[in-house]
């Protein structure tokens, strides 16, 4: 049996631009309403450092410009209805300042995995405490259990693992097999333990297994695919949004030079002649692509002795009407095959842990 988990990185644009009501609250309302029709859960990874800044702005100015109250109301309501609220952090927000067009962030702290041990611990513990206090107003006893890092970067893993364990977190869901990044964040998940089966995460490298570890890694489902597998209308929309809201890379992360013809050719060759990590992103992949991936996962793990999680990732800022129609097809497919698939969340796997 495959347990389908819809996870959502709940945030505005990465460069700090955008209206939280338009990019977070309104699309998440639509998404939850759609999932509720099928009895599906949403696992909301609330970007606590960002939301804390929205609260600070309201407290300091008396103006709820960033719709903090509506965000809190939505998280309370979602959790009360059986959905999950978990922890997501962009550490660059900790020293961010509000500007007319958005939030000016400290890009030197964008990569959580590159921070010092003490800074990492302070960020994770502080953000977890903030989220738990926010949720406890309506749900006493709430505890965050699962973590997701900014830009999915948890390598090197040592400081993050120590900080998660110290504040009582039970799991991470940032790794996706075959994933690589070089720039604002740096990781290589090529040798991750599995594309979908969770594992006790080695505290020095979350990609590897350590049976004694108190942390579980729930990978985002991924496959090693040629570039043609990425083609979809939703992905073009994502590229457009990324172009409009580009991150301001710190100087030490770039060489400051324009790409030469030779380097462009090399990148194009790499793009076309190498396989890449295709994530189960329910904003970017089409229904047909996601259904095919589910069927491949069932073919490989359908007879596993215990239920197997299939973690999809998404962002409310990308949840448009076309995406909604595609998701409807996926949800109907899952509902029509109860012998193979079920809807669930991380808690279904952690409750007996």
> Rounded to 5 degrees, what are φ and ψ at 86?
-125, 180
User: For residues 75 and 44, is the Cβ–Cβ distance under 8 A?
Assistant: yes
Beta strand segments in the chain, E: 2-10, 42-47, 84-89, 97-99, 102-104, 146-149, 171-172, 180-182, 186-188, 199-200, 216-217, 222-225, 276-279, 308-314, 341-343
pLDDT by residue (tens digit) across 182-213?
Answer: 888 999 999 999 999 999 999 999 999 999 99
Q: What percent of the chain has pLDDT over 90?
A: 81
Q: Is the pLDDT of residue 45 over 50?
A: yes
Q: How many CA atoms lie within 13 A of 176 on its CB side?
A: 23
According to the model, what pLDDT value does residue 251 have? 43
Average pLDDT of the residues of the chain = 91
Domain tally, the chain: 1
Residues 105, 344: Cα–Cα separation, whole Å? 35
According to the model, what pLDDT value does residue 12 have? 96
Range of the domain at 331: 2-350
Q: What is the mean pLDDT of residues 142-171?
A: 97
pLDDT by residue (tens digit) across 247-260?
Answer: 765 544 444 444 44
State the CATH number of the domain containing residue 235. 3.20.20.370
According to the model, what pLDDT value does residue 252 have? 42
pLDDT by residue (tens digit) across 91-150?
Answer: 999 999 998 888 999 999 999 999 999 999 999 999 999 999 999 999 999 999 999 999
Write a three-state SS string for 31-59.
Answer: HHHHHHHHCCCEEEEEEHHHHHHHHHHHH
Q: Picking from 86-90, 273-277, 302-306, which range would have the lowest pLDDT averaged per residue?
A: 273-277
Q: Is the pLDDT of residue 56 over 60?
A: yes
Q: Is the pLDDT of residue 173 over 60?
A: yes
According to the model, what pLDDT value does residue 310 have? 98
According to the model, what pLDDT value does residue 248 have? 65
Q: How many CA atoms lie within 13 A of 28 on its CB side?
A: 34
According to the model, what pLDDT value does residue 265 have? 66
According to the model, what pLDDT value does residue 205 have? 97
Q: Compute how many other C-beta atoms are within 10 angstroms of the C-beta atom of residue 211.
A: 7
């Amino acid at each position: 049996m495959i347990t389908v988990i819809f996870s959502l990185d709940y945030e505005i644009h990465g460069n700090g631009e955008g209206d939280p009501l338009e990019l977070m609250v309104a699309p998440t309302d639509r998404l939850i309403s759609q999932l509720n029709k099928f009895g599906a859960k949403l696992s909301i990874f609330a970007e606590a450092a960002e939301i804390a800044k929205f609260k600070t702005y309201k407290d300091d100015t008396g103006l709820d410009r960033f719709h903090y109250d509506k965000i809190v109301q939505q998280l309370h309501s979602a959790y009360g209805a059986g959905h999950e609220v978990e922890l997501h952090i962009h550490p660059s927000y900790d020293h961010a300042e509000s500007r007319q067009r958005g939030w000016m962030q400290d890009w030197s702290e964008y990569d959580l995995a590159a921070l010092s041990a003490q800074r990492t611990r302070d960020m994770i513990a502080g953000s977890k405490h903030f989220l738990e206090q926010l949720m406890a107003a309506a749900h006493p006893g709430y505890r965050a259990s699962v973590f997701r890092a900014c830009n999915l970067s948890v390598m090197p893993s040592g400081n993050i693992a120590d900080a998660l364990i110290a504040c009582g977190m039970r799991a991470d869901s940032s790794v996706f097999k075959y994933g690589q990044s070089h720039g604002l964040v740096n990781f290589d998940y090529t040798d991750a333990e599995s594309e979908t089966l969770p594992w006790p995460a080695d505290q020095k490298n979350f990609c590897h297994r350590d049976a004694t570890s108190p942390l579980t890694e729930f990978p985002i489902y991924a496959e090693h695919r040629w570039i043609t597998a990425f083609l979809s209308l939703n992905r073009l929309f994502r590229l457009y949004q990324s172009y409009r809201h580009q991150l301001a890379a710190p100087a030490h992360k770039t060489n400051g030079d324009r790409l030469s013809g030779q380097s462009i050719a090399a990148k194009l060759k790499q793009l076309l002649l190498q396989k890449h990590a295709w994530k189960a992103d329910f904003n970017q992949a089409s229904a047909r692509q996601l259904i095919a991936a589910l069927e491949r996962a069932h073919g490989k793990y359908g007879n596993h002795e215990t239920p197997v999680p299939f973690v999809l990732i998404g962002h409310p800022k990308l949840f448009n009407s076309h995406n909604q129609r595609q998701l409807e097809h996926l949800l109907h497919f899952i509902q029509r095959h109860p012998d193979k698939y079920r809807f669930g969340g991380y808690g279904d796997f952690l409750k007996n842990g």
